[in-house]
Structure 1
């Protein structure tokens, strides 16, 4: 699932605050400090996408991320690969630029995948 810049910024803030955030606290922390009404609109959009839940607390709503950050990143990586014109070239360029830590994680994940299919 692809997110716009403001959606992504909101999700990043919510992932950093698993206890949840109120829109009036969230808005000033976002780039360009969007209007509270804009933040509320985006939060509702994210709620419809199943990425955010809200809970009534007094007269306001507390918003929490329901989408897992790691799952979101994995889905974004898959979507990027699906858009590649030449998959082999895209993967080679990606692998050529990864850090040793990412290379090790890829090797481990591929090893686990190979082991589970045997």
Structure 2
């Protein structure tokens, strides 16, 4: 099994929580992640996300359960902006991004760009 970077696992945990209808235990999150990450690793990620105010938790019995408190789309956009701002050639990065979109994603992007008031 290959190891994931912590940033990637953090993003995957956030995605699992975003798709949940309520609170999940660390074990529930582990079950929904590919690659069978260690429970302790997921718990560490959850503690870090809690410190960043991206998740909330509640005590259920003797354990804690977690839910997403941050806006998932805003988080993803901020990561994308961060990478774009660090790039030597942002236009090339955007070009690679757009060429990697599937037809449905491309259609959604075109619709957003065609909205009145969008930046051109």
Contact 2:112 2:118 in 1 (8 A): no
User: When the two structures are superposed, what TM-score results if normalisation uses the length of structure 1?
Assistant: 0.74
**1:58 pairs with one of 44, 58, 61:** 61
Contact 1:18 1:65 in 2 (8 A): no
The residue aligned with 1:70 is 73
The residue aligned with 1:115 is 117
1:79 is the counterpart of 2:77:
no
Q: Which runs of 5+ in 2 are unaligned?
A: 1-5
Q: Which runs of 5+ in 1 are unaligned?
A: none
Against the structure 1 CA distance between its residues 59 and 76, is the aligned structure 2 distance closer, same or farther, given a 3 Å change threshold?
A: same
User: When the two structures are superposed, what TM-score results if normalisation uses the length of structure 2?
Assistant: 0.73
The 5 A counterparts of 1:19-34 are 19-34=22-37
- Name the CA distance, whole Å, in 1 between partners of 2:100 and 2:64: 43
State the 1:22 CA deviation.
1.0
Q: RMSD across aligned C-alpha pairs, in angstroms?
A: 2.5
Which has the higher relative contact order, 1 or 2, with Cα contacts under 8 A spaced 6 or more apart? 1
- Name the CA distance, whole Å, in 2 between partners of 1:87 and 1:56: 45
Structure 1 runs (4+) deviating above 4 angstroms are: none
Count of aligned pairs: 114
